[in-house]
Chains A and B, each alone.
Chain A
């Protein structure tokens, strides 16, 4: 990646006239638009259109089985949502799942990335494949597997771990809020740690080996090299990994749907949107919840990019 950067700089810098864009740069820009254009149009069709439609529907009182009675209610649906304790409970549960899973995944993912980069060349491909397997499993399938493992009648967890304090043959994991959230978080962590470790592996590979060697020559310990050389040099990669995973975690739906169906106050914001739109058939109210979810995700992005100064272009090796 760093070689590409150097080459671009070398080729474009000398021909650029002062204060203007060269013909070549303009041609490259045009080519860039031509290459990205079709994908951009497709994205507009499949993403922007439904988002705009949801924002439009969210201003109506609209029931799917009664389209004739559709009426404009302005921002009333948002008022209903923001004054309802159910929204705030779901929001709290979603934030809890997001914070817990992302924090644990970051630590575990970093450890796995270190294992992958340090592993012997011979076993590296096998190791990477093994670590990636959970990520290849469909979320719904993974959620069912974890539910069966922890369920009272068919699960093995209670009999394997009954030596742990608080676990017995009669422990009903899905009978309480925190025990349910524990299993949901565990399933999420198992499933998506490989994703975060892969992003961190890319960051680790970018840290120049010469810096490590120089630190070694200076007598730096393993911990000093990690905290002073490795982590500062891959800060951009870490932040991008955390951002992507946070956006993903905030939309958690499958595990909750399969494991608890929202029982015991385990409803997340996505689940709330599902319940209003699909189950209750209230397209207006459900769209408003979806728009709120979208706004939350946008706010997370803004917080990361502006607040933590995450530079997405740094991840591409442009800076």
Chain B
């Protein structure tokens, strides 16, 4: 009986001691430089490395610690919004997917950007990234890296398809070529954010817009362009692609597309550079794909909706917001300038395949060596169009996904007006989503 009692006393003493240490940790003031918490989207370690570099470069002014958000962009937004709605002061810097930036800005979750920081962080930056960081005519986040999709093709399979990939191609031509060759055109038909990305690029490339007037002060008065000729043509393209996109198209996401391209079942795909080129390179390095695959991979401008009009490729990436409740907003903005320095952007591009927003990075020899298509990426980023910029983006995107999925079942003549009606009802809170 004595031994267990002694043990339990020792245990209790241990618990109390641990609690005291914990309390002391809470109560004590900062002993080192202030810590800036940077909430990052998961990557291949690039943001953690940049955080370490900037901590070292700050000369003791601050130290950056990273916290990783969920994988999915929509879930990253959910976690950040929930925390910020509860006035979470632990969020100093956050990596935000551009379509959600208006929502954060409108809710007052972002600390205002000092004029000089805004000026420096937009100098020499590609257009789409500045557009994606702006809300109500003001810069609200710092552009960090910008993504865009390219058209990728297998050179060996294109012979005899009747397609000249050195010139801009249209979606209609791609569907016809895939049919002629009995091969697949891999695209994102999955019910998710990637479906909205695709639909937006199709409509913008055809000269239309999903949201013509965001009407930030009265969401019920939102202007929608889903009954335009460009929107109708886009629905026709989506339906036609589903006929040549392989058996699992309604569940095909970027990873499935990259696999289909890699194993040769798809001769074409539209993907972000890191999702295709980065993946193909790693597969070749690991030995799971033949070395010839790199030389066999060709790329070009995102396919056109209208042959006479340059395409407006998808714009993605990450911009940096500073939390409204951060105790150190000035330091945090200083840190964002370090994070987005040309040297760090070049490092991030080469190491993780995430394209820079600064134009100067695209002439960096190391970038050109790792990403020979860098000039095409830069051109694509200049043409790229952001997704609808509105504080109600999540509702609009999910309404689009509900009606345009599965793409094989859509009726191009009715899907646009039906979705516009759904979006209006959802924004008026008259319908469930």
- Footprint of B on A, CB under 8 Å? 61, 64-67, 80-81, 84, 86-87, 151-153, 170-172, 174-175, 260-264, 272, 275-276, 278-282, 285, 289
Contact = CB atoms under 8 A, between A and B. Distances in A.
Contacts of A276: 432-433
Contacts of A263: 191, 250-251, 405-406
B431 A65 contact: no
A261 B433 CA distance: 13
Given A172-B250, A263-B250, 8 more contacts: A84-B431, A174-B251, A175-B247, A175-B250, A263-B251, A264-B250, A272-B432, A280-B395
B170 interface: no
B81 A279 contact: no
A208 to B, nearest CB: 41
Given A66-B107, A80-B432, A276-B432, A172 B248 contact: yes
A171 B251 CA distance: 12
A279 B74 contact: yes
Contacts of A86: 431-433
B134 to A, nearest CB: 19
B373 interface: no
Contacts of A170: 247-248
B429 A65 contact: no
A80 B249 CA distance: 34
Contacts, number: 85
Contact of A65 (B85, B247, B398, B432): B85
A172 to B, nearest CB: 5
Contacts of A152: 247-248, 251, 256
B394 A280 contact: yes
Contact of B429 (A80, A153, A175): A80
B250 A174 contact: yes
A66 B81 CA distance: 11
B300 interface: no
* 3 closest residue pairs by CB, A with B: A152-B248, A65-B107, A170-B247
B259 interface: yes
B391 interface: yes
24 contacts: A61-B429, A65-B81, A65-B106, A67-B85, A86-B432, A151-B251, A152-B247, A152-B251, A170-B248, A172-B247, A174-B250, A175-B247, A175-B249, A175-B250, A175-B251, A260-B191, A262-B191, A263-B250, A263-B405, A263-B406, A275-B433, A276-B433, A279-B398, A280-B398
